[in-house]
Amino acid sequence: MHLIHSEKCGVRRAMMLIGSKWKMVLIGCLKDGMQRYGELKRSIPDISEKMLIQELKDLVEAGLVEKTSYPEVPPRVEYRLTEKGQKAIPVWEMVERFGCDYL
Amino acid sequence: MHLIHSEKCGVRRAMMLIGSKWKMVLIGCLKDGMQRYGELKRSIPDISEKMLIQELKDLVEAGLVEKTSYPEVPPRVEYRLTEKGQKAIPVWEMVERFGCDYL
């Protein structure tokens, strides 16, 4: 059976990892380098705190984003794409180009 | 505000149109040409009838897929990517490559 239709299919796996609107927007935010939690929150005004925390947690667990916390007051938390996460940038670029074709 | 964070953002728009696992899998099925409903159903054994019908309906309403029904018994229904839908193929290829990097 052609790989496309089984769990081994790259598309299914990729969509499980990055196939949500917010994850793709976050990859766009992080593609140019490290961002602090507050910066991410301000740059995506319409995402809820709960959703942002969950999507970042998923991306960290998937090994696409690295989270660094500094024991400071107030706490400083930084996010950056891992090497694996960098591989999602071409997907982001292609999705952005496709989306722009629609505006 | 950088376009990435507003409704005008290409990524948000694209993910609304093709940002689901099944839509991306369907684009993969249709990228090589016309497929009948039965062929789609057989090539994606783990999609429910209800989901397949809804995802195809969404893709047709988004102008990415064209549905042709023939007044025959049994009914013959064909699906193919529109010109606009063809533009999603590079996204599918990039998503597939990213997903395969993970296997």
Q: What is the CATH number of the domain that holds A58?
A: 1.10.10.10
**Domain of A78?**
20-100
**A3 domain residue, yes or no:** no
* Residues B3 and A19: beta-carbon distance below 8 Å: no
Residue B102 has pLDDT above 80, yes or no: no
Instruction: Give per-residue pLDDT as tens, B14-66.
Output: 998 998 889 999 999 999 999 999 999 999 999 999 999 999 999 999 999 99
**Beta-ladder partners of A36:** A78
Question: Which residues from chain A sit within 8 angstroms of residue B4, using beta carbons?
Answer: 25, 28-29, 43
Please tell me the total count of domains within chain A: 1
**A14 domain residue, yes or no:** no
**B77 domain residue, yes or no:** yes
**B66 domain residue, yes or no:** yes
Instruction: Give per-residue pLDDT as tens, B41-52.
Output: 999 999 999 999
Residue B41 CA to residue B18 CA, distance in Å, equals 19
**B31 domain residue, yes or no:** yes
Residue A58: both structure tokens together: 């998923």
Closest C-alpha among B12, B91, B27, B88 to residue A88: B91
**B4 domain residue, yes or no:** no
**A47 domain residue, yes or no:** yes
**A70 domain residue, yes or no:** yes
Residues 36-95 of A with CB under 8 A from B: 43-45, 84, 87-88, 90-92, 94-95
- The reply to whether omega before A74 is within 30° of 0 (cis) is yes
pLDDT band at A103 (very low <50, low <70, confident <90, very high): low
Q: Which residues contact B75 (CB under 8 A, 6 or more apart)?
A: B69
